[in-house]
Structure 1
Amino acid sequence: MDILALDLGTSSVRGLVLDADAVPRPGALARRRVRMQLGDGGATLDGAGYLAHLVECLDELAAGGHLRDVGRVATSGQWHSVLPLGRAGEPLGPVLTWLDTRPEPPAGVAGPADAAAYHQRTGTWWHRAYWSVRLPWLRERGVGRPARFVGLVEYALGALLEEAPMSVSQASGTGLLDLSALTWDAEACALAGAGPGELPELAPEEWRGRLRPEHARRWPQLADAAWTAPVGDGAASNIGQGCVDPGRAAVTVGTSAAVRLVQPAPAGWGLPPLPDGLWRYRVDHDHVLTGTAYSSGGNLFAWARRELRLPQGAELDAALARIAPGGGVAADPRLGGDRAPGRAPAGSGTLGGLSFGTDAVEIVAGLMSGVCRLIAADLVELESTVDGPVEVVLGGGAMAASAWWRESFAASLAPRRVRYQPDPEIGAAGAARAALGRLDVPVRLVDIGRTDEVASPTPSAPRAPRALPERPLS
């Protein structure tokens, strides 16, 4: 049995077919780039256009004969997006993505009664990144009369499947989920103004979906395939990087950047303590993901290519090689503003120490080094949640594209051991492993500065035993 893994990201839509051991099939990859609409703090996607790209990927894979042995479909999808729908399921506006910094809390609303308890319970804050602030803001902007709200993942899959409930992983990214009880949190929903029927149904642990009949006729190879509950893109990346236990953190740099680690936490039991500056989401019913994220990552390259005439390919690699790892101009890379819990708006990036001799490569190197420093500082707080320093695995498309950036991370994160997962499709691969219930599948890792490759250790079982925590919820 093969697995079709869909990666529903903010910069592209991908479809990848893997075998029963989660190894990609040669040539079985379809990809479509998507264009985000940016400006004045806004960062939106066109839902209908996005769905069309997904359909094109499925058509391409079907035409290539890659879907004939697919028995299961897995999905990695972006967290935090929200789309208001009308009574007939029609979009009432664009998709609000994680990068959008415009939402503000309603005037005169005080927020959570106990902010610390709210943070521990939902893993989030009363912040523009989450639906507790986003839903009231969308209503105030007059997007019509929404019948309900969904994420981009639920919108896309809802168009293809007979039903598309929201997985606990995707729900945790809304900021409205009680991470222990795995139900919508009453206080968070009250802040969001979300009434009965306005939020998606939550998928049960063993949920399986099926294509609608009209789509089964279009892709008959998938007619009998079982669709598994989607995994948030950050969680899928951790799995794809082989970072599925508390002793190993993933640093992922794709369009954006993040540092995260997975901990066992079966549903219904108490959660590990959560430091004030870190968020926490769900991987599945048995694991949580703790970390922090940044609005700048590979998008720094896109900006520099567009605005600074940055060299590309081998020319860029050669120019960066002349700069010491972690070097470049002094720079704050927060061009897109802060991710939660920070509140700096878009346009907060800065450059310092420029001269007439400064070139584009020194500027982008400084921005890349700035991301390294942000992650190095926050990794210290992340390590406070586990016993001692962790090993770090780098991954993501931007990491695959730049050896200099990998070396800069190794220098910034020293003396920790830093390794690299060279597969650029870590999200799709991670989603496939989650669908198999095999978070422990070994992945290929490369030591930074060396050429040897090793298999990751596999300390985590596919399902953490429910007796692991010492105490139930009171």
Structure 2
Amino acid sequence: MNILALDLGTSSVRALVLDADANPLPGALARRKVRVATGADGSGTLDGPGYLACLVECLDELAAGGRLRDVELVAASAQWHSVLPLDAAGEPLGPVLTWLDTRPMPVASAVGPADPEAFHQRTGTWFHRCYWSVRLPWLRARTATPVARFVGLVDYVLGVLLDEAPMSVSLASGTGLLDLHRMDWDAEACELAGVRPAELPPLAPTGWRGRLRSAYARRWPQLAGSAWAAPVGDGAASNVGSGCVDATRAAVTVGTSAAVRLVQPDEAGLAPLADELWRYRVDHEYVVTGAAYSSGGNLFAWANRELRLPDGAELEAALARVGPAGHLAVNPRFGGDRPPGLVPAGSGELRGLGFGTTAVDILAGLMTALCRLVADDLALLESGVRAPAEVVLGGGAMAASPWWRQMFAATLAPRPVRHQHHPEIGAMGAALVALGRIPDAAHVAGIGRTDEPETPNPAADARPR
């Protein structure tokens, strides 16, 4: 049996084929970049139909290469917090609001939850611009055509491809409208959002499986009989793919954004949620607790674009000469705060610049500042459990920079810090969740020392050029 894993991220759409143990098969990867439209007003949006077209192109590419044979299961890792209004015919009424969008504000008459602490413990979230409790009224006020339903990006995409596409409890928990314990829409959160349950996607039950619509089954006959699993929030999938599935390991993932997270079984007698941390669901049996940041690999991308940095080994050598701390005072919140923070986009700061400051000094300052944010929130996570035995670094930005891995190791000391070398941790994690094998992820391959050389990605390296 093979597994088709979809990684529906913010900066790219990826489709790859894995074996029955969730290991990528050589040459079976298709990828399309997507462009987030950002603006000085804090906007961060994606084009829904364009995003769907990218995924279709990926599947066409794999099908043309004969890579979809023997696929029995389709799993998906998808970005949390996105929202898209639809009309009565299911057509988008505007762009997709991503987690990057900081424009939504509570309407003037909004008073928030009656008991904010109880709301936080119940939903794992806050009355905040990142969540649907604030986003839906804001969107309604700016949508000329009446909104029939609100969906997330992955629900829209799968709603086109599949006979039915209920929302997973994992994706629903990222909306801020889900009661984590009852695993149903929360009445107070829905009231704050001004939405009826009929205007939200139905929730997928345990063990739900979907099938392709007939038109797409004819387009990809190899997938006609494949079962589609309920999608997993990208952060939860990354934890599983990093082998961090209990209180002995915390995951620090840096892709476009960054996060520090801890996964636990729901039955583990969870400690009350700290004021500064969120909690979402991995599936019906596991939850994930953590903190996230709007800045991550996008800091590196900005610096690389604007500062004319050296390349490859030359850059790593230059970073090594900066030393462990650098001399700049940096606020890395270029994209604003993720919840519960309310700092708007455009709040990044660089202080201590002089005529001797180099582009590499600035990059090192940005990267080090993020390490320190993560260290502070990891200490909060540890306060709710016995201290994690180790930290596992993962994500594309971690794979790209040995220096950044070493800086995380130094900042998080004395904790042991390791690195998940496989770049496709989201896809691998989603597949393990779909297989019902979350505990097995503790033994997932690819985790090594932070100073070990990179393991090539066989799926990418064997791809026809």
What TM-score comes out, normalization by structure 2 length?
A: 0.95
2:149 corresponds in structure 1 to 148
User: What is the rounded CA distance, in whole Å, between the counterparts of 1:452 and 1:207 in structure 2?
Assistant: 37
1:448 corresponds in structure 2 to 450
Q: Residue type matched to 1:17 in 2? A: V
Asked if 1:291 corresponds to 2:290, the answer is yes
Alignment partner of 1:127: what SS? coil
1:460 corresponds in structure 2 to none
2:161 corresponds in structure 1 to 160
User: What is the rounded CA distance, in whole Å, between the counterparts of 1:161 and 1:370 in structure 2?
Assistant: 43
2:253–2:260 CA contact under 8 A, matched in 1: yes
Residue 452 of structure 1 deviates from its aligned partner by 12
1:205 corresponds in structure 2 to 206
User: What is the rounded CA distance, in whole Å, between the counterparts of 2:225 and 2:453 in structure 1?
Assistant: 43
Asked if 1:22 corresponds to 2:22, the answer is yes
2:327–2:352 CA contact under 8 A, matched in 1: no
2:128–2:339 CA contact under 8 A, matched in 1: yes
Count of residues paired in the alignment: 451
**1:161-176 counterparts in 2 under 5 A?**
161-176=162-177
1:84 corresponds in structure 2 to 85
User: What is the rounded CA distance, in whole Å, between the counterparts of 1:362 and 1:29 in structure 2?
Assistant: 36
Q: Residue type matched to 2:85 in 1? A: P
1:371 corresponds in structure 2 to 370
Alignment partner of 2:199: what SS? coil
1:325–1:404 CA contact under 8 A, matched in 2: no
2:93–2:143 CA contact under 8 A, matched in 1: no
User: What is the rounded CA distance, in whole Å, between the counterparts of 1:449 and 1:213 in structure 2?
Assistant: 49
Asked if 1:255 corresponds to 2:256, the answer is yes
Residue 196 of structure 1 deviates from its aligned partner by 3.8
1:44–1:94 CA contact under 8 A, matched in 2: yes
1:41 corresponds in structure 2 to 42
User: What is the rounded CA distance, in whole Å, between the counterparts of 1:27 and 1:232 in structure 2?
Assistant: 26
User: What is the rounded CA distance, in whole Å, between the counterparts of 1:50 and 1:110 in structure 2?
Assistant: 35
**1:423-442 counterparts in 2 under 5 A?**
423-439=422-438, 440-441=440-441, 442=443
What TM-score comes out, normalization by structure 1 length?
A: 0.93
Residue 323 of structure 1 deviates from its aligned partner by 1.8
Q: 1:241 to 1:328 in 2, by over 3 A?
A: farther
User: What is the rounded CA distance, in whole Å, between the counterparts of 1:414 and 1:270 in structure 2?
Assistant: 28
Residue 318 of structure 1 deviates from its aligned partner by 2.1
Q: Residue type matched to 1:348 in 2? A: S
User: What is the rounded CA distance, in whole Å, between the counterparts of 1:150 and 1:67 in structure 2?
Assistant: 28
Asked if 1:360 corresponds to 2:329, the answer is no
Structure 1 stretch displaced more, 407-416 or 385-394: 385-394
User: What is the rounded CA distance, in whole Å, between the counterparts of 1:29 and 1:184 in structure 2?
Assistant: 36
1:14–1:29 CA contact under 8 A, matched in 2: yes
1:470 corresponds in structure 2 to none
1:10 corresponds in structure 2 to 10
1:465 corresponds in structure 2 to none
User: What is the rounded CA distance, in whole Å, between the counterparts of 1:102 and 1:72 in structure 2?
Assistant: 38
Q: 1:135 to 1:64 in 2, by over 3 A?
A: same
2:313 corresponds in structure 1 to 314
2:2–2:20 CA contact under 8 A, matched in 1: yes
Alignment partner of 2:408: what SS? helix
2:402–2:451 CA contact under 8 A, matched in 1: no
User: What is the rounded CA distance, in whole Å, between the counterparts of 1:316 and 1:298 in structure 2?
Assistant: 16
User: What is the rounded CA distance, in whole Å, between the counterparts of 1:65 and 1:143 in structure 2?
Assistant: 45
1:351 corresponds in structure 2 to 350
Residue 336 of structure 1 deviates from its aligned partner by 0.1
2:240 corresponds in structure 1 to 239
1:13–1:34 CA contact under 8 A, matched in 2: yes
Residue 71 of structure 1 deviates from its aligned partner by 0.3
Q: Residue type matched to 2:239 in 1? A: N
Q: Percent same amino acid among aligned pairs?
A: 72
Q: Residue type matched to 2:323 in 1? A: A
Residue 321 of structure 1 deviates from its aligned partner by 2.0
Structure 1 stretch displaced more, 229-238 or 350-359: 350-359
Alignment partner of 1:200: what SS? coil
Deviation sequence 1:141-175 (CA, Å, 0-9, x none)? 23421100000000011110000000000000000
2:28–2:62 CA contact under 8 A, matched in 1: yes
2:461 corresponds in structure 1 to none
1:404 corresponds in structure 2 to 403
Deviation sequence 1:368-422 (CA, Å, 0-9, x none)? 0000000001111010110134410000000000000000000000000000001
**1:316-335 counterparts in 2 under 5 A?**
316-327=315-326, 329-335=328-334
1:70 corresponds in structure 2 to 71
Alignment partner of 1:322: what SS? helix
Gaps of 5+ in 2: 456-465
2:108 corresponds in structure 1 to 107
1:326–1:411 CA contact under 8 A, matched in 2: no
1:72–1:227 CA contact under 8 A, matched in 2: yes
2:399–2:454 CA contact under 8 A, matched in 1: no
Alignment partner of 1:197: what SS? helix
1:132 corresponds in structure 2 to 133
Q: 1:306 to 1:410 in 2, by over 3 A?
A: same
Deviation sequence 1:325-349 (CA, Å, 0-9, x none)? 3435221100000000000000111
2:223 corresponds in structure 1 to 222
2:31 corresponds in structure 1 to 31
Alignment partner of 2:237: what SS? helix
2:458 corresponds in structure 1 to none
Structure 1 stretch displaced more, 388-397 or 254-263: 388-397
1:461 corresponds in structure 2 to none
Q: Residue type matched to 2:141 in 1? A: E
Gaps of 5+ in 1: 454-474
1:248–1:261 CA contact under 8 A, matched in 2: yes
User: What is the rounded CA distance, in whole Å, between the counterparts of 2:259 and 2:105 in structure 1?
Assistant: 24
User: What is the rounded CA distance, in whole Å, between the counterparts of 1:96 and 1:259 in structure 2?
Assistant: 23
Residue 271 of structure 1 deviates from its aligned partner by 4.8
Q: 1:452 to 1:256 in 2, by over 3 A?
A: closer
Residue 270 of structure 1 deviates from its aligned partner by 7.0
Deviation sequence 1:285-322 (CA, Å, 0-9, x none)? 00000000000000012111222222232222221121
1:281 corresponds in structure 2 to 280
